[in-house]
């Protein structure tokens, strides 16, 4: 389905309840599935990606009951496989569009004597899996990939040995896969990163009874196995990546004010807030307080004139990797040239996101350039409505919908139903704020 957007002539005003964090929802379901006993997962994201994870752990022997399926999330009861381990699935596990599902489950099953084949849709089947396969092989698992190191992937696990793995990339998925495999290795498994990636795994595992050695801000994290998680009750806060789109909408649409409560502001995820503030965006963080294993706050954003360009350094990128498209859109309205450095990882997302951002912004009339691992956006530049494809990428679909609100004329976002991967109600929530968007 497509979405039609017209230039916003009225302000966006109100409170939007952002859905639950996707990264944490995946992990809560997986960790509960691996645990001994029954966990309650409160407010998990009800998106296509998370439902792929739910179906996957069910195929591996966990019992998942949906107690309530509501706009504020899925309320789940999950009885895990615990000490008996996951069962041999009867068919390949389809991970849909979800790289988190495929990569983390590869690590989770690698410690058990079963054989599991992971498949995915066309987009996921083009994404690199050797970054997971290589350390799992070093631990003793047998991992076979398709030619080119992609899905389908077959993992035959069991009998793992601990390793000290120096990751060539700052990737929470790589780190998490190795740590999850380490739960069944005899000894201490260590992951060392080149820069700090999302730390949800090391924050959440202790809630499920798994000790993790990691100093806050450290690039080294470890677990000692064998250890089986224990059931717990877990609450998932709102997703900062999803909140970023409404924050930028509030900053860019004249006279707007948008409030998003209970958003996770984990420091490894809040890079977009820091960068936008540095650019001069009017953003306020209120009521910052612990929420489960995270810190959450209310984000308020106001229309911001006179923003200026900035440079995003490589060390900052892991904390805003999913928000680069929407921050790049904000940069079209800032004075000067904003440069993103070290963003080559965007080329292996749901699409070649770096090239797609360049091409999409150019279609709107922006002054934009890209290299192998950098992006430059010069502004301020007036945008004009256009027809732009989502490339089945949820982050791009949402970015182009927000772009349409500040572009003159009409914008059509093709394949905008890709938003269902992370934010099924995205269009409806924009409409509640007064945005002129509709399904076409």
Residue 358, CA distances (Å) to 159, 351, 368, 377, 432 in order = 46, 12, 6, 9, 30
Contacts 24+ apart (CB under 8 A), 80-84: 80/32, 80/33, 80/34, 80/35, 80/36, 80/37, 80/38, 80/39, 80/229, 80/231, 81/33, 81/34, 82/34, 82/35, 82/36, 82/37, 82/228, 83/36, 83/228
The Cα angle at residue 254 between residues 252 and 256, in degrees rounded to 5: 85
Q: Which residue has the tokens 């080149």?
A: 194
Q: Is residue 405 within 8 Å of 435, Cβ to Cβ? A: yes
Q: Which of 322, 352, 367, 417 is catalytic?
A: 322
The SS3 assignment for 301 reads strand
Strand 311-312 relative to strand 336-341: parallel, antiparallel, unpaired?
Answer: parallel
Residue 277: is it exposed, middle or buried by C-beta count within 10 angstroms (0-12/13-18/19+)? middle
* The dihedral sign for the CA sequence 130, 32, 48, 157: positive
DSSP class of 53:
H
Q: Is 352 a catalytic residue?
A: no
Pairing of β 187-192 and β 164-166: parallel
Cite the active site residues.
322
């Amino acid at each position: 389905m497509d979405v039609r957007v017209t230039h916003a002539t009225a302000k966006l005003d109100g409170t939007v309840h952002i859905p639950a964090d996707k990264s944490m929802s995946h992990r809560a379901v997986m960790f509960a599935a691996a645990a001994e006993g029954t966990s309650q997962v409160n407010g998990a994201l009800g998106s296509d990606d998370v439902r792929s994870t739910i179906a996957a752990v069910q195929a591996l022997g966990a019992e998942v009951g949906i107690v309530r399926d509501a706009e504020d999330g899925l309320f789940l009861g999950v009885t895990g496989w615990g000490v008996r381990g996951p069962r041999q699935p009867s068919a390949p596990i389809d991970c849909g569009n979800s790289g988190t599902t495929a990569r983390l489950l590869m690590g989770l099953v690698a410690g058990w004597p079963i054989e599991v084949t992971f498949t995915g849709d066309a987009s996921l089947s083009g994404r690199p899996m050797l970054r997971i396969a290589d350390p799992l092989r070093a631990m003793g698992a047998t991992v076979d990939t398709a030619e080119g190191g992609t899905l389908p992937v077959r993992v035959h696990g069991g009998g793992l040995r601990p390793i000290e793995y120096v990751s060539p990339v700052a990737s929470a998925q790589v780190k998490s896969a190795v740590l999850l495999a380490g739960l069944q290795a005899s000894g201490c498994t260590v992951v060392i990163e080149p820069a700090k990636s999302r730390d949800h795994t090391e924050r959440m595992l202790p809630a499920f009874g798994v000790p993790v050695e990691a100093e806050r801000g450290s690039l080294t994290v470890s677990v000692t196995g064998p250890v089986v998680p224990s059931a717990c009750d877990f609450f998932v806060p709102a997703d900062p990546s999803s909140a970023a789109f409404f924050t930028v909408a509030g900053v860019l649409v004249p006279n707007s004010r948008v409030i998003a409560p209970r958003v996770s502001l984990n420091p490894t995820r809040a890079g977009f807030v820091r960068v936008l503030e540095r650019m001069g965006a009017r953003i306020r963080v209120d009521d910052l307080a612990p929420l489960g294993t995270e810190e959450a706050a209310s984000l308020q954003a106001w229309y911001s004139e006179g923003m200026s360009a900035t440079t995003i350094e490589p060390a900052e990128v892991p904390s805003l990797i999913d928000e680069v498209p929407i921050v790049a859109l904000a940069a079209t309205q800032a004075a000067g040239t904003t440069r993103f450095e070290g963003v080559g990882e965007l080329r292996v997302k749901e699409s070649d996101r770096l090239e797609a951002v360049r091409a999409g912004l150019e279609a709107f009339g922006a002054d934009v350039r890209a290299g192998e691992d950098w992006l430059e956006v010069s502004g301020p530049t007036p945008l004009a409505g256009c027809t732009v494809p989502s490339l089945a990428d949820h982050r791009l679909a949402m970015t182009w919908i927000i772009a349409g609100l500040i572009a003159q004329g009409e914008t059509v976002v093709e394949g905008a139903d890709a938003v269902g991967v992370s934010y099924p109600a995205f269009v409806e929530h924009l409409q509640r704020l007064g945005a002129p968007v509709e399904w076409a």
